[in-house]
Amino acid sequence: MSVRPDNRLDDTPMAPVTCRACGADVLARKSSWQQTSVQWSAAAAQRCPQRQDNEALTSHGRKTVFLSCSELSESIAEAVRTGRLTIVDETVDAAP
């Protein structure tokens, strides 16, 4: 059995988005309105107060999972609204 290469980023790569609240720079990709992929750099993770709060809870023995930053989520939605970030599912059938 061969492994098929993952080429999802070939047509629509991740794009830079800056959080409006803390200025963290991440890479984001919207596959649909419901699905967002975010790639955090170490610098962005250190800059995000919500992520830092989550890590502080983890360091006190609580097991937590960081799901998202509400400010970054709004920044990503704004990037979609202004056309700086596209939604893949909405562009797939748009080809001539």
- pLDDT at 20 (0 to 100): 97
Residue 60 is predicted with a pLDDT of 72
Query: One-letter amino acid identity for 69?
Result: C
Residue of 75, 60, 56, 64 lying closest to 15 (CA atoms): 75
Distance CA 76, CA 84 (A): 9
Per-domain boundaries in the chain: 17-91
Tell me the pLDDT of the chain (96 aa) as tens digits.
788 776 767 778 999 999 999 999 999 999 999 999 999 999 999 999 999 998 888 777 677 788 899 999 999 999 999 999 999 987 655 444
Given a contact cutoff of 8 angstroms between Cβ atoms, the answer to whether 86 and 12 are in contact is yes
Predicted local distance difference test score (pLDDT) of residue 1? 72
pLDDT for the residue numbered 87: 93
